[in-house]
Amino acid sequence: MDSTSYHKQLSIENTEKLRTILQEFPAFMRDYFRGMEPTTTTKTRISYAYDLKVFFFFLQQNNSYFAKKEIKDIVVSDLELLEPVDIEEYLEFLKVYQDPNGKIRTNDERGIHRKLSSLRSFYLYYSKREMIKNNPTIVVDMPKLHQKQIIRLDPDEVAELLDIVEFGGKDLTGMKKVYYDKNKLRNLAIFTLLLGTGIRVSECVGLDIDHVDFKNGRIKIVRKGGKEDYVYFGDEVEKALMDYIELSRRQITAVEGHENALFLSIQRKRMSVKAIENLVSDTAKEVTMFKHITPHKLRSTYGTNLYKETGDIYLVAEVLGHNDVNTTRKHYAALDEERKRRAAKVVRMREEGPAKSD
């Protein structure tokens, strides 16, 4: 299967998953999820479904009227019974709560912000269609989001990480050594690709062998939302991919249905997002214990390096596949401050101090 069919298959699986979740919800909610289908991915709709599931759980736990109802028995007019204070109590509840399985759940400001956004979207759908008149979510302020510090690898950490992938880390013996030798070229290609192009881990997982175009020095990927795009790579990425494909990947007979996948697991199946996340996290621990490194942090590292080299925020946004350049600018605002500070020292008005009078 090619990368497009891989993503289509993922969409099919997510659609089936969403349908299973919706069976727990009132019938009227199917209209809401059907209405948002043209503008969202299945993954986004699943996230909204989980958010709303938490909201109804809160109502059953904290509201005397909803405590007497099963979620499936809720009707659209019930939504009008809530006041802004109920929504504020919900946001407070989200900070720490015990889920139906007894597990303690927490949400930081971004998690609370997202869940309120989901709830606003939900209410807005029925409000716009005049199925409800009271919309308590619009009265409640969105939580303020503080700018998160971007965690990225320093240049020396990047070099050390690639050295560990290529030459092995500490205490590499026994089965660890066997596993390392078997997957060295694959792992080096993955790390070099992520650090050298800034692609997302999902885009990396979706790659097929024939999506690597050595003639033009580029790969074909599927962005979020299903849009196809080309990302260009340099000499280091080219060598790592060429070595892996010619010396390792072509020697492996993949499981049926995974024949075209670029990166294969030990089971000879397309690697999963989770597998690459674990690979990056485990390997990076040998470089730094103070930074939790994920594939997204490698993406941030690439974006940082590209911006430092070019100073072109629009180029960074385009290469990273950001739909809105303001998203990119927010991420790299701190680098802008560094550039401004350096600019203050570039322009000199006098080569030396003021001349001394006799």
Strands 228-232, 218-222: pairing is: antiparallel
Q: What is the pLDDT of residue 346?
A: 66
DSSP reduced 3-state for 222: strand
Residue 238, in any domain of the structure: yes
Q: What is the pLDDT of residue 164?
A: 92
**282 and 177 belong to one structural domain:** yes
Which of 5-9, 36-40, 72-76, 107-111 is the least confident region?
5-9
**131 and 161 belong to one structural domain:** no
Predicted confidence band at 338 (pLDDT cuts at 50, 70, 90)?
low
Residue 68, in any domain of the structure: yes
Predicted confidence band at 198 (pLDDT cuts at 50, 70, 90)?
very high
* Closest of 259, 241, 297, 151 to residue 232, by C-alpha: 241
**81 and 198 belong to one structural domain:** no
CA distance 83 to 35: 25
Instruction: List, for residues 274-318, the tens digit of each pLDDT value.
Output: 999 999 999 999 898 888 899 999 999 999 899 888 888 889 889
Q: What is the pLDDT of residue 152?
A: 87
CA distance 12 to 18: 10
Residue 276, in any domain of the structure: yes
**98 and 15 belong to one structural domain:** yes
Residue 73 structure tokens: 């028995």
Q: What is the pLDDT of residue 95?
A: 96
Average pLDDT over residues 65-81: 94
Residue 174 structure tokens: 């026994």
CA distance 198 to 216: 18
Q: What is the CATH number of the domain that holds 159?
A: 1.10.443.10
Q: What is the pLDDT of residue 10?
A: 85
By the 8 A CB rule, do 335 and 307 touch? Answer: yes
Residue 29 structure tokens: 């909610």
From edge to edge, which strands make up the β-sheet containing 212-213? 212-213, 218-222, 228-232
Which of 129-138, 266-275, 322-331 is the least confident region?
322-331
With a cut of 60, say whether residue 4 has pLDDT above it. Answer: no
**93 and 163 belong to one structural domain:** no
Predicted confidence band at 70 (pLDDT cuts at 50, 70, 90)?
very high
CA distance 332 to 326: 10
* Domain boundaries, position 235: 155-292
Final residue of a structural domain among 292, 327, 344: 292
Residue 131, in any domain of the structure: yes
Q: What is the pLDDT of residue 18?
A: 94
With a cut of 90, say whether residue 171 has pLDDT above it. Answer: no
Instruction: List Cα–Cα distances, 306 to 90, 310, 314, 322, in angstroms.
Output: 42, 6, 11, 14
Q: What is the pLDDT of residue 335?
A: 65
| HSE value, Cβ hemisphere, 13 Å, CA-based, for 280 | 27
Average pLDDT over residues 257-265: 94
Predicted confidence band at 8 (pLDDT cuts at 50, 70, 90)?
confident
* Closest of 126, 150, 144, 145 to residue 136, by C-alpha: 126
Residue 335, in any domain of the structure: no
**191 and 273 belong to one structural domain:** yes
Q: How many domains does the chain have?
A: 2
Q: What's the mean pLDDT when you consider all of the chain?
A: 89
Final residue of a structural domain among 113, 138, 163: 138
**248 and 133 belong to one structural domain:** no
CA distance 33 to 235: 45
Higher pLDDT, 226 or 346: 226
Predicted confidence band at 103 (pLDDT cuts at 50, 70, 90)?
very high
Average pLDDT over residues 147-167: 88
DSSP-assigned states of every residue in 130-181: TS-S--GGGTSPPPPPPPPPPP---HHHHHHHHHHHHH--TT--HHHHHHHH
**121 and 220 belong to one structural domain:** no
In DSSP terms, 218 is beta-bridged to 213, 232
pTM recorded for the entire structure: 0.80
DSSP-assigned states of every residue in 28-70: THHHHHHHTGGGS-HHHHHHHHHHHHHHHHHHHHH-HHHHTS-
**77 and 199 belong to one structural domain:** no
Residue 283, in any domain of the structure: yes
Q: What is the pLDDT of residue 225?
A: 74
With a cut of 80, say whether residue 247 has pLDDT above it. Answer: yes
CA distance 260 to 269: 10
**44 and 84 belong to one structural domain:** yes
With a cut of 70, say whether residue 175 has pLDDT above it. Answer: yes
Q: What is the pLDDT of residue 268?
A: 95
**167 and 131 belong to one structural domain:** no
By the 8 A CB rule, do 54 and 48 touch? Answer: no
In DSSP terms, 96 is beta-bridged to 106
Q: What is the pLDDT of residue 137?
A: 96
Average pLDDT over residues 214-233: 91
DSSP reduced 3-state for 198: coil
Residue 76, in any domain of the structure: yes
Residue 306, in any domain of the structure: no
CA distance 67 to 52: 16
Final residue of a structural domain among 259, 292, 325: 292
Instruction: List, for residues 183-197, the tens digit of each pLDDT value.
Output: 999 999 999 999 999
CA distance 72 to 66: 11
With a cut of 70, say whether residue 71 has pLDDT above it. Answer: yes
Predicted confidence band at 354 (pLDDT cuts at 50, 70, 90)?
low
Q: What is the pLDDT of residue 105?
A: 95
**171 and 287 belong to one structural domain:** yes
